[in-house]
Amino acid sequence: MGSHDGHCYCQGTGAKCLSASRIPHCKGLVLHDCHAEILAMRAFNFWLMSECHSVLAQEAQSVEYTNRHTNDSASPYIQRRQADISNANIKRGPEPPFEIQPDVRIYMYCTCAPCGDASMELCIAAQDDPTPWAIPAPETEPDNTPSDTNNESTRATPLLSGRGDFSKLGIVRRKPARADAESTKSKSCSDKITLRQVSSLLNYETSLLVAPTENAYIAALVLPEEEITRVGCARCFGEDGRMKGLKGRAWPIGNGNGAEIETGTGDEAVVGPESRYRYEFRPFQVLSIPTDQLKSQWPFRKPRASDPISEIESDDQSQPDPAATMKKAKPSNLSSIWVRAPTVPIPADAEGAPRTVIGDTGSKSLPSLRGSKTGLFENIINGVRQGNKLSAPGLRGASALSRAKSWSYCEVVLGSIFPPSTESAGPVDGDADGGRVNAGTGPPVLQTSTYREFKEADLTETIRARRSAIQSAREVLAGWVPNSGDEAWGLDVLVDTKKRKR
């Protein structure tokens, strides 16, 4: 949002994630983690990519190429990298061509405290018996499970449950689940948000397009007053909490290899004027919404035991026992995703323009949020679009936020920068007749054949710095077990082999 106004650009709801045994069968078409916070962050990156795509499409239709190298931008949210404005090679440069506008600040609102370390005190207080649960026999990472990190020590680290072991604080946890549910390797929302304090909100695909600056990080996490424990948030997210080992460390873009430097030691002078493009630990503020304001603005919030009886649905208001009238909230298996449309609509004839980026919900009208047009709207069940099977989602069942479609859309946008050629490697826009954007003179990302190659390719200095920063953050967090197994597939998974009904 800008410095003088605030708008919602994406939102997500949900409280489900896949078990570890399902991951190898996803083939990039299924969302592993459908907790609301994770969907919202993925949705933000989708919106940012669509904003980049919109700007590139407008530039391509501009009469004068020089418009690319001025401070005038088609978007109030992103602009060309200022260090590159006078660089005539930016059109073919391998580094991210955009940065977020300097007056933009990102705020993340959560209706509940993120699962994991930030909410452990709330979890303890909600128990009838706050005694820590008995610690079960350690469940360790199998030796034959491939690892996508260099931290071999995590392979023998026990996987802790989401809510158990109350006496252990400041640790990496997996998503909470029922005691009889199959375990997952998806890390808690607290842990994933904490990692974003180092890697920024930009995911891998968006990092190929947008440079990491200070305002690419969350400025503040906003929570209901009743969902905040200051001790837990300080331990989980604060600069003197579990991440204090990263204070004073940075991974700048501009020293040639993305190597780490120590801030405040003069090392920034070696990097040069581009040192503001960097990864580093940037703790955010934790802001609160007063309970009275929350109740008045959101009457359908999650009920709490402390709510007065009159505020809880009950047929018998004369019940004297509060426990008898307390309404327990049950998590739904349905998740929803809403993303705002790009500032300027992407022309239908733009290079690589998707036929549509709006999810098929079966509705003839699309929702708007306080006047904002919809760019994406999907309902998700079990990681796939509603109405499709988890066992065989196919092209139609894959969410626009899935790995396969995110990679595909990233190639579409990169294809607007680099000279494209078309080959029959698979679709990029959800159309079975489409071709894959490729470029002999483009970055290696446009020439990879599997998702693993895409993520491991030696692409740019920005990506090298990002990998180094994430690896260091995981080492400080300790116990970060990779949720691997869904990497050995290519964009051919997006080929629609089913005949459409006429």
Q: Give the amino acid at 425.
A: A
- DSSP assignment of 158-224 equals ----SS--TT--S---BPP--TTSPP--PBPHHHHHHHHHHH-S--HHHHTTB---GGGSEEEEEEE
Most distant CA pair in the chain, distance: 76
Angstrom CA distances, 445 to 60, 406, 437, 438, 495, stand at 22, 13, 11, 9, 20
Axis-axis angle for helices 36-60, 403-414 (nearest 10): 20
Axis-axis angle for helices 461-477, 189-199 (nearest 10): 140
Q: How far, in Å, CA of 88 to CA of 67, rounded?
A: 12
Q: How many domains does the chain have?
A: 1
Point out which residues pair with 384 in neighbouring strands: 381
5 found inside a domain = no
- DSSP class of residue 37? H
34 found inside a domain = yes
Q: Is 61 exposed, middle or buried (0-12, 13-18, 19+ CB in 10 A)?
A: exposed
Q: What is the pLDDT along the chain (502 residues), one digit of tens a residue?
A: 544 478 899 999 999 999 999 999 999 999 999 999 999 999 999 999 999 999 998 888 775 444 444 556 789 999 998 765 444 344 444 689 999 999 999 999 999 999 999 999 998 888 777 665 555 555 555 544 444 444 444 444 455 666 667 778 999 999 887 777 788 899 999 999 999 999 999 999 999 999 999 999 999 999 999 999 999 999 999 999 999 999 999 999 876 555 677 665 545 444 444 578 999 999 999 999 999 999 888 887 777 766 665 554 545 555 555 444 555 667 789 999 999 999 988 876 665 555 445 555 555 567 777 778 999 999 999 999 999 999 999 999 999 999 999 999 999 999 888 755 444 444 444 443 444 544 445 566 678 899 999 999 877 889 999 999 999 999 999 888 889 999 999 999 999 876 666 5
pLDDT of residue 113: 95
Q: Which of 274, 276, 279, 280 is nearest to 254 (CA)?
A: 274
Q: How far, in Å, CA of 168 to CA of 354, rounded?
A: 48
Query: What's the gap between Cα 3 and its chain centre?
Result: 23
pLDDT of residue 310: 55
Q: How far, in Å, CA of 68 to CA of 135, rounded?
A: 59
- DSSP class of residue 302? P
- DSSP class of residue 464? H
In 3-state terms, what secondary structure has residue 15?
A: strand
Q: How far, in Å, CA of 478 to CA of 151, rounded?
A: 9
Tell me which residue range forms the domain holding 112.
10-499
Q: Is the dihedral of CA 30, 36, 38, 40 positive or negative?
A: positive
Sequence length of the chain is 502
Q: How far, in Å, CA of 342 to CA of 373, rounded?
A: 9
Q: Which of 341, 337, 316, 338 is nearest to 326 (CA)?
A: 316
Q: Where are the alpha helices (DSSP H) in 35-136?
A: 36-60, 120-125
Do residues 253 and 457 make contact, with C-beta atoms less than 8 angstroms apart?
no
2 found inside a domain = no
387 found inside a domain = yes
pLDDT of residue 62: 73
pLDDT of residue 425: 43
3 found inside a domain = no
Q: How far, in Å, CA of 87 to CA of 273, rounded?
A: 14
pLDDT of residue 150: 44
Q: Is 242 exposed, middle or buried (0-12, 13-18, 19+ CB in 10 A)?
A: buried
35 found inside a domain = yes
Q: In the 3-class helix/strand/coil scheme, how is 359-413 assigned residue by residue?
A: CCCCCCCCCCECCECEEEEEEEECCEECCCCCCCCHHHHCCCCCHHHHHHHHHHH
Do residues 123 and 132 make contact, with C-beta atoms less than 8 angstroms apart?
no
443 found inside a domain = yes
